[in-house]
Amino acid sequence: MSGGPILTTQGLTRHFHGLKAVENVDFTLERGEVRALIGPNGAGKTTFVSLLCGRIPPTAGRVRFDGTDITALPAHRRIRLGMAYTFQITSIFAGLSVAENVRLAARDRDVAPRAALERVGLAGQDETPAGDLAYGHQRLLEIAMGLVQAPRLLILDEPTQGLSDAEVSGFKRLIRDLAGDTTILLIEHNMSVVMETADRVSVLNFGQILAEGTPGEIHADTAVQAAYLGTG
């Protein structure tokens, strides 16, 4: 493991039939930090994350993970290197139990799913069919499936979508508990989650980085207010 940033992009770009979804993004994620990625709908956030995870190839640019160029690696190879992610649309196995979903995510690791389930607030749901869970609980199951992989980088796309206020509070505690041990990239619309958990915030707008800084700096940024926070 190198001592530099855990993830960097250089000139990362993705076009779809002329649409510049992500355009020339230079991005640095420091080891052990919690970074929030925010921006208006259609800003390119999910496309950017898909480029990081290897779900889609870039039109141009490079991605490096822990000092290694992974631009050409498929998603499953990136997972083996220590990346885990959940996406905006749940990808659980609805016909399997909650515990079986977590065991599948663990792959070859000899781990019991219970600890991961307890950590996300799903204790006692081991044998429940995953498809029977409420949508918010399916989101929590996905996080447990990420945690059981013991990732060095955990990427969460809209993890609090569908959660109750109490579950959002539990999620904030979880992120604070993970901070430092696991690097976290959090794509999130809930600004209380962003402001209370992130070390730094990156704002994406029209496929480009508009601003970066601490939560306080971002909240006070007039360009961000005009583009996203609605206070400009």
Q: Is residue 152 situated within a structural domain?
A: yes
Q: Is residue 82 situated within a structural domain?
A: yes
- When pLDDT is averaged across residues 58-69 and rounded to a whole number, the result is 96
DSSP-derived secondary structure for 18-82: TEEEEEEEEEEE-TT-EEEEE--TTSSHHHHHHHHHTSS--SEEEEEETTEE-TT--HHHHHHHT
Cβ(33)–Cβ(178) below 8 Å: no
Range of the domain at 98: 32-58+73-229
0.85 exceeded by pTM: yes
pLDDT, one tens digit per residue, over 182-227 is 999 999 999 999 999 999 999 999 999 999 999 999 999 998 988 8
Q: Is residue 209 situated within a structural domain?
A: yes
Q: Name which of 1-5, 59-63, 135-139, 208-212 the model is least confident about.
A: 1-5
For the chain, the average pLDDT equals: 91
Domain count, the chain: 1
The neighbouring-strand residues paired with 120 are none
Q: Is residue 203 situated within a structural domain?
A: yes
Q: Name the residue type at position 8.
A: T
Residue 133 belongs to domain with CATH number: 3.40.50.300
